[in-house]
């Protein structure tokens, strides 16, 4: 069975790359075609809706917001159960020195509905700042954010802190704060029209990836591979690998999803009372 899969070009998705390199999916009778999406969650969820993808590995908050708004996709599994820590970045020469200075400044986002957009709202709300007047600059991806901050077209950028660590180390970005969200980092979102007929093949594919994730966590040479592949310092790769957890469970994380829904409601991203867990999740 053919599955068109998309995910961000980050270390979280290394198990997919390794499984593909080993022909693990083909051996199981699956035709898996994986594509990197540097634009992130907003583009991933849109391509799911537009039938350009079958399966997307997306940030939990973005996937939940997309399903509640459009209803064309469903969650089937937690992919990365550990929470994501977002770094809050400014250009090295920015006049922003403290986290309080980012209030009412222009925020670079990959696109509306992306993690960089939603978590900027989450962060502002958690700090007690108004969110209805926040100013955003669409930059498409990490490279776009680098250009926007350097040119002064935007002031602040939120992105996963390990992926931006090389830019902090080389003096291009300064990190003025961070935000850890209290729910799993990534979930697996699938086009609703595939379910439930594709469930057995889908589960087979996801079981293979979970096995590669477990093996990566146990592999003593994995930090060196991650550092080389993603341009990280070895100690940063070791730190990241020590905290990340790829999930092998298909259990619906009710409490985490409810926290996500409440946060999205509080920020006005979704309307109150629209988050139905049964509509969000399809057991496979």
Please state which of the four CATH numbers 3.40.50.300, 3.40.50.1980, 3.40.190.10, 3.90.1150.10 is assigned to the domain occupying 85-180.
3.40.190.10
| Cβ count within 10 A of residue 279 | 14
Model pLDDT, residue 94? 97
Q: Please count the residues of the chain.
A: 284
- Contact indicator for 187, 78 with CB cutoff of 8 Å: yes
Model pLDDT, residue 268? 81
Q: Which residues have a Cβ under 8 Å from the Cβ of 262 and sit 6 or more positions away? A: none
CATH code 3.40.190.10 region(s) in the chain: 2-83+185-280, 85-180
| pTM for the model | 0.88
Model pLDDT, residue 266? 78
Classify the phi-psi angles of 231: left when phi > 0, otherwise alpha if psi is within -120 to 50, otherwise beta. left
β-pairing, 31-36 with 2-7? Answer: parallel
Model pLDDT, residue 109? 96
Model pLDDT, residue 132? 86
Model pLDDT, residue 105? 97
pLDDT digits (tens, 9 = 90+) for 79-123: 999 999 999 999 999 999 999 999 999 999 998 878 899 899 989
Q: Of 63, 263, 60, 87, whose CA–CA distance to 160 is shortest? A: 87
Residue ranges in the chain modelled with pLDDT below 50: none
2-83+185-280: CATH number: 3.40.190.10
């Amino acid at each position: 069975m053919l599955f068109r899969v998309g995910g961000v070009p980050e270390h979280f998705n290394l198990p997919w790359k390794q499984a593909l390199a080993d022909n693990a999916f083909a051996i199981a009778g699956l035709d898996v075609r994986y594509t990197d999406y540097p634009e992130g969650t907003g583009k991933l969820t849109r391509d799911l809706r537009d039938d350009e993808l079958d399966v997307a590995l997306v940030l939990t908050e973005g996937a939940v917001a997309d399903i509640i708004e459009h209803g064309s996709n469903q969650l089937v599994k937690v992919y990365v159960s550990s929470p994501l820590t977002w770094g809050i970045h400014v250009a090295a020469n920015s006049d922003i020195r403290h986290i309080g200075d980012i209030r009412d400044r222009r925020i670079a986002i990959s696109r509306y509905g992306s993690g960089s957009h939603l978590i900027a709202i989450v962060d502002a709300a958690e700090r007690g700042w108004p969110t209805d007047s926040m100013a955003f600059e669409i930059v498409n991806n990490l490279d776009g954010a680098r250009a926007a901050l350097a040119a002064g077209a935007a002031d602040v950028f939120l992105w996963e802190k390990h992926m931006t660590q090389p830019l902090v180390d080389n003096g291009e970005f300064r990190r003025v704060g961070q935000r850890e969200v209290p729910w799993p980092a990534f979930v697996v979102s699938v086009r609703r029209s595939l379910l439930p007929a594709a469930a057995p093949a889908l589960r087979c594919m996801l079981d293979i990836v979970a096995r590669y994730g477990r093996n990566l966590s146990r592999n003593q040479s994995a930090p060196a591979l991650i550092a080389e592949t993603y341009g990280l310092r070895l100690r940063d790769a070791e730190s990241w690998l020590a905290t990340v957890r790829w999930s092998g469970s298909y259990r619906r994380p009710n409490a985490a999803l409810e926290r996500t829904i409440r946060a999205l409601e509080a920020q006005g991203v979704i309307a109150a009372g629209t988050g139905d867990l049964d509509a969000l999740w399809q057991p496979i």
